Every structure is written in structure tokens, then in C-alpha cells.
């Protein structure tokens, strides 16, 4: 019986040793870039899988548009968003990339006078159009010129804290006042047939609800926008 146990133990040991050696050979072969056949002579070579390219070719398109009063002609990836064109190609980093899903409003700009989320709009969709970013609202401010009325109101009423959402808030507020002046109703407008619905606090907050301030400076933002509205400084 003892001899049988010794023989079984020997077979088991050899089997384990063989398994460990084979595993080490396979690992070395994979790490060294050789096939299993090189590590185990006498076996058939293992065919290497043929990987098909999974990345589609990049399609580029020309786009020409006016940004902050200056004509820009570029060639971009057809998938480039307006926000990435502004930030990465034109280095206008005032428009912020917050959520990149159109949910926070930090990227709001004015396209042909209308407020839009730049992260949801392809650059090539604005061929021949005009785009105004926060940098273009008061182009002479850096040289000592006046601020845009909305910018000045945000400063006066402390309508910001960290400032990350502020460019989008300001551009959105300008677009919102234009919409309200044109008589466009909101979800809370009591009479949608009213040519000029009153800008109540409920109206103002609803119309600006697409712009999130994570610092919660909403009361000051409302005060700034109302100041511009009540003083008749609605931008053209």
C-alpha cells in the first residue's frame, strides 16, 4: 500500500510540475510576443487573431462663421461641437464645459441672437452664422471701456460666487430678456396670448431654469437680471 501511495504522490507531483512549467511557458510566450508553439515544441502554431480596425476614419469639414465680430474659417472634425470649436480652436475659454450634456447651461452662448447650449450644437451647423460669447459682449472692457449692462449688474448685485457658471448665466439672461421682450411665453405664463407677459419672479426663474448655479447665488442673479430689465437696458 505504501508503494502505491508513493507512486500516486509521484504522479501527482509530476502532473503539478508539468502544469506549472506549461503555465510559465505560456506566460513567457505571451509576454515576449511569441506563440505557444514556441514554448511547447511539437505542437501546432496557434493562429493570431486578426483585429479589424474599429476606429472610423475622421471626416473633416470646412466651417466659416463670425465669432464676436471676427470672421473665422476653419477645418474641423465633423463631430466637433460649437463649444469645442470655441474653446479648443479659437481659445475662447470663457464659455465653460460643465456637464457636456446640455443640463447645466455653463456653455450658453448667443447664436444669431438666440441663446443655445454650445455643447449640444455641432460647429458645422453654424456655417455662415454669428456667435457671441462672454468675451464679445464688451470687447473694449479690457482697454478700460464699459462693461455690458448685464455684466455690470452681476458685479453690482454680486450675482456670482465661484464664477464658473457666470458666463453662461449672463449670456442666457441676455437671450432670455430678448425672448421676453418679443412676447415669447414660458411654461408658467398665465396667458400665452399676452403680447408682453410680465416678468414676474416666477417667470424669471422659470426662464432661467436651464442655468444651474452650484453655489446657489440665485437670489442675486435674479436681482441682477431684474435690475437690467427694470431700467430698460434690454440688449438689442
* Residue boundaries of the structural domains of the chain: 60-135, 141-230
At CB < 8 A and 24+ separation, what contacts does 6-11 make?
none
Q: Could you give the CA distance from residue 100 to residue 98 in angstroms, rounded to a whole number?
A: 6
Tell me, which fold does domain 141-230 have in CATH? Answer: DNA polymerase; domain 1 (1.10.150)
pTM of the complete model beyond 0.85? no
- Greater confidence, 213 or 18? 213
**Model confidence at 35, in pLDDT bands (50, 70, 90)?**
very low
| CATH 3.10.20.30 for the 60-135 domain, yes or no | yes
Q: Could you give the CA distance from residue 114 to residue 122 in angstroms, rounded to a whole number?
A: 15
Q: Do domains 60-135 and 141-230 have the same CATH topology?
A: no
C-alpha cell at position 108: 450658453
According to the model, what pLDDT value does residue 21 have? Answer: 65
Nearest by Cα to 211 from 92, 99, 87, 83: 99
Nearest by Cα to 149 from 189, 177, 126: 177
Amino acid at each position: 500500500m505504501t508503494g502505491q501511495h508513493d507512486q500516486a504522490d509521484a504522479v501527482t507531483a509530476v502532473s503539478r510540475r508539468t502544469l506549472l512549467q506549461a503555465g510559465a511557458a505560456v506566460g513567457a510566450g505571451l509576454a515576449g510576443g511569441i506563440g505557444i508553439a514556441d514554448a511547447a515544441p511539437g505542437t501546432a502554431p496557434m493562429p493570431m487573431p486578426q483585429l479589424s480596425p474599429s476606429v472610423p476614419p475622421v471626416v473633416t469639414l470646412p466651417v466659416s462663421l463670425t465669432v464676436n465680430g471676427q470672421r473665422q474659417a476653419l477645418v474641423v472634425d465633423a463631430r466637433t461641437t460649437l463649444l469645442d470649436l470655441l474653446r479648443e480652436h479659437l481659445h475662447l475659454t470663457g464659455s465653460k464645459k460643465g456637464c457636456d450634456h446640455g443640463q447645466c447651461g455653463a456653455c450658453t452662448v448667443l447664436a444669431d441672437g438666440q441663446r443655445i447650449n454650445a455643447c449640444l450644437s455641432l460647429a458645422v451647423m453654424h456655417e455662415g452664422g454669428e456667435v457671441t460669447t462672454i468675451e464679445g459682449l464688451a470687447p473694449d472692457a479690457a482697454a478700460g471701456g464699459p462693461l455690458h449692462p448685464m455684466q455690470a449688474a452681476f458685479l453690482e448685485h454680486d450675482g456670482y460666487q465661484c464664477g464658473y457658471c457666470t458666463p453662461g448665466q449672463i449670456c442666457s439672461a441676455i437671450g432670455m430678456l430678448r425672448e421676453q421682450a418679443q412676447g415669447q411665453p414660458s411654461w408658467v405664463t398665465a396667458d400665452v396670448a399676452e403680447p408682453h407677459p410680465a416678468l414676474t419672479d416666477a417667470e424669471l426663474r422659470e426662464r432661467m431654469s436651464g442655468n444651474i448655479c452650484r453655489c446657489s447665488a440665485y437670489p442675486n442673479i435674479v436681482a441682477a437680471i431684474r435690475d437690467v430689465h427694470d431700467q430698460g437696458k434690454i440688449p438689442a
